[in-house]
Amino acid sequence: MTVRESIIKGQVSSDHVVQFFDSDESRAACVATFLAEGYRAGERLFVVARRSNWAAIVAQLETMDVPVQQAIAGSRLIGRDADDTLRRLSRKGSPDAMLFDEVVGGAVADLQEPGGRVRIYGEMVDMLAQRGELRDAIRLETLWNDLGERTSYSLMCGYSAAHFVSSSTHRAMRDICGAHSCVHRHANDQLASWLLTAAHNRPETPGSATALQN
């Protein structure tokens, strides 16, 4: 069963997309657009990001007339520091399923409304990739997918494309793409586009196919 089939045929319907970015500026613009769409649709928002990236995303959201501080005060948006959150859900340095459900699943459940969907942006996986801990990054993606079978969400995971320049990381890049229902890339992020093409320039293994979107 593919990731798309799993999270759509589970108890609820969820979307789990991944996007690779060339720069912090590209990340901030794309993530802000993703979150703003959810806010305008009446969804509650959950963000797990580095402090510097979150500041840039907030600045972009404010240009889109999304009242960030009002959303936080009204419990429509929860923001968590990625470094602290990753540390809390890890045991012996690796993501732990029980701790993930407690730390992340609990926060998402608090935001969930009957019949509603939570919109999430996360970059803890990017921190793991930056440290070269790609197996743990894939492990964390699996935990997100498990949550998506129980809780309706629209989740974007963001990675810096630069972590996958070495050809030795291309297998992990394919596996990361395979852990998502869809792969996004922005036309202006030329490194990300090139690396995605290079990493997938071989026959795909069964069940790993994902849709590449601009």
What pLDDT sits at residue 12? Answer: 57
> pLDDT value at position 191?
96
Q: Which CATH class is domain 3-213?
A: alpha beta
For residue 90, give both structure tokens. 């890890």
Domain ranges of the chain: 3-213
Q: 16, 183 in Cβ contact below 8 A?
A: no
Per-residue confidence (pLDDT) for residue 201, from 0 to 100: 82
For 131, the 3-state DSSP assignment is: coil
* Sign of CA pseudo-dihedral 69, 128, 38, 111: negative
Amino acid identity of residue 198, one-letter, is A
Give the number of other CB atoms < 10 A from CB of residue 42: 10
What is the full per-residue pLDDT of the chain (214 aa) written as tens digits? 444 443 334 455 789 999 999 999 999 999 999 999 999 999 999 999 999 999 999 999 999 999 999 999 999 999 999 999 999 999 988 999 999 999 999 999 999 888 789 999 999 999 999 999 999 999 999 999 999 998 999 999 999 999 999 999 999 999 999 999 999 988 899 999 999 999 988 544 444 434 445 4
Q: Looking at residue 10, what is its pLDDT?
A: 46
**pTM for this entry:** 0.88
Strands (E) in the chain, as ranges, are 15-21, 44-49, 77-81, 90-91, 94-95, 118-122, 153-160, 182-184, 211-213
- Please tell me the distance from the alpha carbon of residue 33 to that of residue 38, in angstroms, as a whole number: 9
